[in-house]
Amino acid sequence: MLKMRWEYPDEDELLHSIISTYGGECSDNEYEILWKLAKQYGRNGYILEIGAKFGISTLILANASKLVDGCKVISVDASTLEMDRSFLYVPKTDLLITGWTRFLHYYKNLYLYDLYDHVISINAKSQEIADILDCFISLLFIDGAHDYESVKQDWIKYSPKVISGGIVIFHDYIAPVDVKKVIDGYVKPNPQFVYCEEYSEDSLYVVKKS
């Protein structure tokens, strides 16, 4: 059984307790990079996460930011819109669970890690709320729908909201191919964003806004 957030004696144990929780779709190394970047860049504006699913990346970003008295996390995910009809595979297990169970698991984790005051959860499609979500973003994590048009629209609609010196992190740059197409066609040619090789490991692709 998971302990409450305040029961972890040090940062390293807190981080690895989150990584070991079922439901994560990033590698351990990717989670460690997200943790490091959230501590480093999560001090101004907001951290915006597109795609939460089971909320493991939400826990990583929010806990790391909270450790440095940093900014809140806005977590946008549309998967619970189909929660009565959808089934989701839980990584690292043989489980298929309903969207409703995913919804409960997500909020249970926010409670266990004492993050209700640090996470703003929005159950909506990211492209549909972009125009009304008026905020300055210091860290943008794009890991929502992976089809070409969705990734492209997430980049086009949200990258202008990233502050100077802020970063954008893409997950699944290696596969599926549509994520790579958007990065190669829209992100790399953009002179405002500089590639961060030191953080672009495994399937992460990280750029910093000048």
Q: Give, in degrees to the nearest 5, the angle at Cα 200 between 196 and 204.
A: 130
User: What share of the chain has pLDDT > 70, as a percent?
Assistant: 84
Range of the domain at 76: 7-209
2 assigned to some structural domain? no
**pLDDT of amino acid 78:** 83
101 assigned to some structural domain? yes
Work out the burial of residue 201: count CB atoms within 10 Å of its CB; fewer than 13 is exposed, 13-18 middle, 19 or more buried: middle
Euclidean distance between CA atoms 65 and 43, whole angstroms: 7
199 assigned to some structural domain? yes
What average pLDDT does the segment 4-27 reach?
A: 78
205 assigned to some structural domain? yes
Encode pLDDT of 125-183 as tens digits: 999 999 999 999 999 999 999 999 999 999 999 999 999 999 999 999 987 789 999 99
- pTM score, whole prediction: 0.89
Kindly report the CATH number assigned to the domain that includes residue 135: 3.40.50.150
pLDDT band with cut points at 50, 70 and 90 for residue 194: very high
**pLDDT of amino acid 19:** 87
**Number of separate domains in the chain:** 1
1 assigned to some structural domain? no
Encode pLDDT of 39-62 as tens digits: 999 988 999 999 987 789 999 999
Euclidean distance between CA atoms 180 and 177, whole angstroms: 5
Encode pLDDT of 87-116 as tens digits: 544 554 444 445 556 777 788 888 888 898
24 assigned to some structural domain? yes
